[in-house]
């Protein structure tokens, strides 16, 4: 029971920390978004093809210049779960939370390229491994992400961003759960 509550406590701690930062104000940028795609999941099992999805909230608490904090919910499950008429009795999946630092760079100031961006992320993750019917373990580790796309906003601080991205997470305890995702990402900055 305590293992299941730990990720929720960590998420609440980070939300509290961000919202009570001395530099956080109503003028701070924030955004919401998500991604959907495909990839591979594994625990003690061999890798399985999966679909992946995430919903996230991003804020610029002003702690480090040009670095934002992103808190995400992640869900990756076996592709067969999506197929109509599938008769599988158990569909392996991973779910979890992550918090990561995000940095973005725009590629050029040229008129045609000024809206192209590259975004990198590095952070911590807590993943609930459900790759087998008898497994229900929380694993903790790190994740890396890279996204490139187009910013449709009128300014670089607000508006819609679309991109193609990849994310890799690996854990270091219990079942050594991990996933790789290649996805389409959308985010709206306010």
83-115 per-position pLDDT tens digit:
887 777 788 999 999 999 999 998 887 777 888
- Position 12 pLDDT exceeds 90: no
Q: What was the pLDDT predicted at 177? A: 96
Cβ burial 61-93 (10 Å sphere, 16+ → b, else e): bbeeeeebbbbbebbbbbeeeeeeeeeeeeebb
CA 120/CA 106 separation, integer angstroms: 12
Is residue 175 a contact partner of residue 143, using CB atoms and an 8 Å limit? no
Residues belonging to the chain: 190
The pLDDT tens digits of the residues spanning 131-189 come to 988 899 999 999 999 999 999 987 777 899 999 999 999 999 899 999 999 999 999 99
Stretch 36-57: mean pLDDT, rounded? 94
pTM of the model: 0.83
Res 124 pLDDT > 50: yes
In CATH, what class is 2-18+32-189? mainly beta
Give the helix/strand (H/E) hosting 186: strand 178-189
């Amino acid at each position: 029971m305590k293992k299941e509550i730990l990720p929720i406590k960590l998420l609440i701690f980070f939300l509290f920390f961000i919202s009570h930062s001395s530099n956080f104000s109503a003028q701070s940028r924030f955004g919401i978004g998500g991604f959907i795609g495909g990839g591979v999941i594994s625990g003690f099992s061999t890798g399985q093809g999966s679909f992946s999805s995430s919903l996230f909230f991003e804020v610029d608490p002003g702690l480090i210049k040009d670095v934002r904090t992103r808190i995400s919910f992640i869900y990756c499950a076996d592709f067969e779960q999506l197929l109509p008429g599938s008769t599988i009795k158990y569909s392996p999946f991973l779910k979890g939370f992550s918090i990561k630092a995000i940095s973005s760079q725009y590629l050029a100031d040229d008129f045609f390229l000024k809206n192209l961006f590259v975004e990198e992320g590095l952070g911590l993750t807590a993943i609930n491994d459900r790759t087998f019917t008898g497994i229900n373990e929380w694993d903790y580790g790190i994740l890396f992400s890279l996204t490139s796309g187009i910013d449709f906003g009128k300014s670089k601080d607000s508006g819609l961003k679309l991109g193609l991205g990849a994310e890799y997470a690996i854990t270091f305890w219990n079942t050594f759960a991990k996933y790789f995702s290649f996805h389409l990402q959308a985010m709206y900055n306010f």
